[in-house]
Structure 1
Amino acid sequence: MLSENELLYRIALQKLPNLGDSTAKKLIDRLGSAEAIFKEKKNNLLKIEGIGLHKIKHLKDTSYLDEAEKEIHFIKSNQIEVWSFEDKSYPNLLKHCIDGPILLYTRGNIDLKNKKIISIVGTRKITSYGVQFCEQLISDLAVLNPVIVSGFAYGADITAQKTAIQHQLQNIGCLAHGLDQIYPKIHGKYAPDVERNGGFITDFCSGDEFDRNNFLKRNRIIAGMSEATIVIESAEKGGSLVTADIANSYNREVFAVPGRSTDKLSLGCNNLIKKHQAKLITSAADIIYHLGWDLEAKPAKQTQLFIELTNEEQKLVDKLNELGKCELDELSLQTKMPTHQLAGLLLNLELKGVVRPLPGKQFEYIN
């Protein structure tokens, strides 16, 4: 944990124009602390590879230290936690991103240790199709207790947050401004529920004005802290496509929900799939399969002699027993159930030790 003095200098370092997080981490590693950076002679800093005058020309401007002192007062007064990039609490996957923030400001009850983390992004003008898919996806994944991350904006973001709250899943709003405000204001009514089981994360300080240019910085955190980014709906151009691009640059999995070629809000997703920049997703089963979560979810041993099944689960088990190994699409035809409904049923049956997944999106009944 950082001392208050080191925190002061790191906040000031993060505020410096032109420096950037990757350079800041490089300098901290080289000199041992943020305080040492501020106290080092410029000539010595300029001898470090990749450090030019443009990056450090504001280093001796004491106004940034004054701003940092104000920020520490805000942190103390508002139950804010600060995570440094070396801390155990800092998102593990984000640590491996070269431009991951040197500091993250958090509020709520966030616990990321040994958690499955996915990001859900998409258009602010989400359609009923997008809402239904997002809600069903999170509902079907709920038994695996994933952490749901979004930008807390209109549309796909807030749909994901509200559904996560409904299923009591830990959910995180990643903000493009400081923790002294909520944007859009209308979403402030959801903040208490988010903070009860999850919270908010940002690398912006209090007083940092909301600006659309902040979205790019925000999106790198959304993409970087997650195992996968899921694009629900997107027009041909949009912020969610930028997040998908960042996720790809971090070698993360990206999934996109396909739509009709005539739907403007499916163009972005369809293009991602067409250009092999995202995997096509039709149900929760696709996420589970590609991320390998199904292997982790299998019970070690079936201990119950008699397992209670719902009518729909029993119907599915009977059909699998009749057909043997069967692909998801074929099961959908045979049972006359949509694939998104099947995905949830199959997942429950897998956790009960009745069904197991096989390569190629196949499933079989365990006798």
Structure 2
Amino acid sequence: MHVNSSELDALALDFIAGVGSITQRNLIDYFGSPKAVIEASADELQQISGVGKVLSAKIIAGKSEAYKRAEKELLFVEKHQIKIYSYTDKSYPKRLRECPDAPMVFYYRGNADLDSARIVSVVGSRKATPYGRMLCEELIEKLSDYNVLVVSGLAYGIDVCAHKTSLDHRIPTVGVLGHGLHTIYPSVHRNIAVKMLDNGGLLSEFPSDTPADPKHFPQRNRIVAGLADVTVVVEAAKRGGALITAELANSYDRDVCAFPGNIGNEYSAGCNLLIKSHRAHLITSAEDLGYLMDWQPVNRAEKEEEKVAHIRLSDVEQTVYNIVKEGGMISIDGILNQSKVQPNKLPIVLLELEMKGLIIITPGKMYRVTIQGSV
């Protein structure tokens, strides 16, 4: 195994009991690196605010065991192609770095850019109603026009609805977990999680073998809020993780939006309260969110090119698709004349392109390419 010494030091410091993220940040800011913190004497450590004799003794006594644990963790992350992000890394996500209680170390597996230009966190009730799921699906579908990265917590209800709908519309989506990357909780979301690795990713501040403990989920919500420009609460009761995430986003001076719901509905009470108390902007659509954030939709033609680029076409299918695209509206005879495809094979090629969602046939039996969001 190739040992990255800076990662080893960062993990070792993170594994020393009693040294939380805020204390770690203070120590690193003063000493310059995790290694320098670990090598500091008790007297030097006690110069830092919040570090007394007890904590300095823990750091000195615990570093040997912490390094052993760090070496074991590095074996796991190397085996599973997991990337470690440390607060001292230049690649550490810029938005998250701004949060005073951000994790000093976290683990990430995926291909999404955690510094994407536009990041939206979508949260809500685990007991989502049909109304909540409808709002979530419509929001995510329309967000495909804005080139966003969607972040949520892979929990039941609104979270998994946001991830699934993002995948359906080829929007990159990242799940922030309340346990180590050795497992998926809840297990019924494993298939979705696997798909997210191809267009998004999974992220956790907890090392491998950390179980899904209830106390971890409110803790991970600060990452959900901290990674994003804006947090959208789709549906929520007066108490629960979604409101915790909204409060955290407010504390980070990030925008918060909420969909209004029926008065008296338990799972709309939280959203209505956020709006009423001016802790969230009222929105009813992705367009409202785009207006609030001053985001312009991407060019529809550009999106169509991206869509085509991700679909495998045979040489014949590519030729026919290009003819239809250039023709605007073209008959089957026009396609036949330009493509030189055998007459008995052309209808099959056209049907394949229709099935892939790339072209449609109009009532006048003319073909044209599909622009996402139109019929």
- 1:117 aligns with 119
Q: Quick check: 1:58 aligned with 2:82? A: no
Output the amino acid matched with 2:34.
A
Which deviations, in whole Å up to 9, do the C-alpha atoms of 1:254-289 show, x marking residues without a partner? 111111112110111111111111111111111101
- 2:145 aligns with 143
Shift of residue 212, structure 1, vs aligned partner:
0.8
Return 33-42 or 130-139, whichever deviates more.
Answer: 33-42
Q: Give TM-score, length-normalised by structure 2.
A: 0.76
Which deviations, in whole Å up to 9, do the C-alpha atoms of 1:16-60 show, x marking residues without a partner? 233211221221222122112111111111022332234434212
**Paired residue for 2:81, among 46, 70, 79?**
79
Change (3 A) 1:43 1:87: closer
Q: Quick check: 1:240 aligned with 2:242? A: yes
1:293 match: secondary structure: coil
Which deviations, in whole Å up to 9, do the C-alpha atoms of 1:203-230 show, x marking residues without a partner? 1100112111111220000000100111
Q: Counterparts of 1:196 and 1:274 in 2: how far apart (Å)?
A: 39
2:268 match: secondary structure: helix
- 1:208 aligns with 210
Residues 89 and 111 of structure 1 are in contact (CA less than 8 Å); yes or no, is this contact kept in structure 2? no
Change (3 A) 1:216 1:278: same
Output the amino acid matched with 1:4.
N
Q: Counterparts of 1:87 and 1:297 in 2: how far apart (Å)?
A: 32
Q: Counterparts of 2:49 and 2:144 in 1: how far apart (Å)?
A: 48
Q: How many equivalent pairs are there? A: 303
Gaps of 5+ in 1: 300-307, 309-346, 350-367
TM alignment of 1:163-312, pairs within 5 A: 163-294=165-296, 297=298
Return 147-156 or 94-103, whichever deviates more.
Answer: 94-103
Which deviations, in whole Å up to 9, do the C-alpha atoms of 1:304-347 show, x marking residues without a partner? xxxx8xxxxxxxxxxxxxxxxxxxxxxxxxxxxxxxxxxxxxx9
Change (3 A) 1:171 1:114: closer
Identity rate of aligned residues, in percent?
41
Output the amino acid matched with 1:234.
A
Shift of residue 348, structure 1, vs aligned partner:
7.5
- 2:331 aligns with none
Change (3 A) 1:87 1:9: closer
Q: Counterparts of 1:245 and 1:287 in 2: how far apart (Å)?
A: 18
Q: Counterparts of 2:54 and 2:259 in 1: how far apart (Å)?
A: 43
Shift of residue 76, structure 1, vs aligned partner:
1.1
Residues 236 and 268 of structure 1 are in contact (CA less than 8 Å); yes or no, is this contact kept in structure 2? yes
Residues 118 and 227 of structure 1 are in contact (CA less than 8 Å); yes or no, is this contact kept in structure 2? yes
Q: Quick check: 1:23 aligned with 2:20? A: no
Q: Counterparts of 1:268 and 1:149 in 2: how far apart (Å)?
A: 20
Change (3 A) 1:281 1:55: farther
Which deviations, in whole Å up to 9, do the C-alpha atoms of 1:64-103 show, x marking residues without a partner? 2221111011111111111122434322111111111111
Change (3 A) 1:56 1:233: farther
Which deviations, in whole Å up to 9, do the C-alpha atoms of 1:101-137 show, x marking residues without a partner? 1112001212234421000011110000001110001
Q: Quick check: 1:8 aligned with 2:13? A: no
Q: Counterparts of 1:348 and 1:196 in 2: how far apart (Å)?
A: 23
Change (3 A) 1:145 1:243: same
| Greater Rg by CA | 2
Residues 236 and 271 of structure 2 are in contact (CA less than 8 Å); yes or no, is this contact kept in structure 1? yes
Q: Quick check: 1:69 aligned with 2:66? A: no
Change (3 A) 1:201 1:148: same
Change (3 A) 1:113 1:48: closer
Shift of residue 172, structure 1, vs aligned partner:
0.1
Change (3 A) 1:241 1:68: same
Return 51-60 or 105-114, whichever deviates more.
Answer: 51-60
Q: Which 4+ stretches in 1 moved above 4 angstroms?
A: 296-299
Change (3 A) 1:254 1:41: same
CA RMSD in angstroms comes to 2.3
**Paired residue for 2:93, among 70, 74, 91?**
91
Residues 89 and 112 of structure 1 are in contact (CA less than 8 Å); yes or no, is this contact kept in structure 2? no
Q: Counterparts of 2:193 and 2:98 in 1: how far apart (Å)?
A: 29
Q: Quick check: 1:48 aligned with 2:56? A: no
Output the amino acid matched with 2:212.
F
Which deviations, in whole Å up to 9, do the C-alpha atoms of 1:172-222 show, x marking residues without a partner? 000011110100011001122100011001111001121111112200000
Q: Counterparts of 2:88 and 2:292 in 1: how far apart (Å)?
A: 29
Q: Counterparts of 1:162 and 1:348 in 2: how far apart (Å)?
A: 18
Q: Counterparts of 2:55 and 2:100 in 1: how far apart (Å)?
A: 17
Gaps of 5+ in 2: 301-327, 329-371
1:104 match: secondary structure: strand
Q: Counterparts of 2:212 and 2:134 in 1: how far apart (Å)?
A: 30
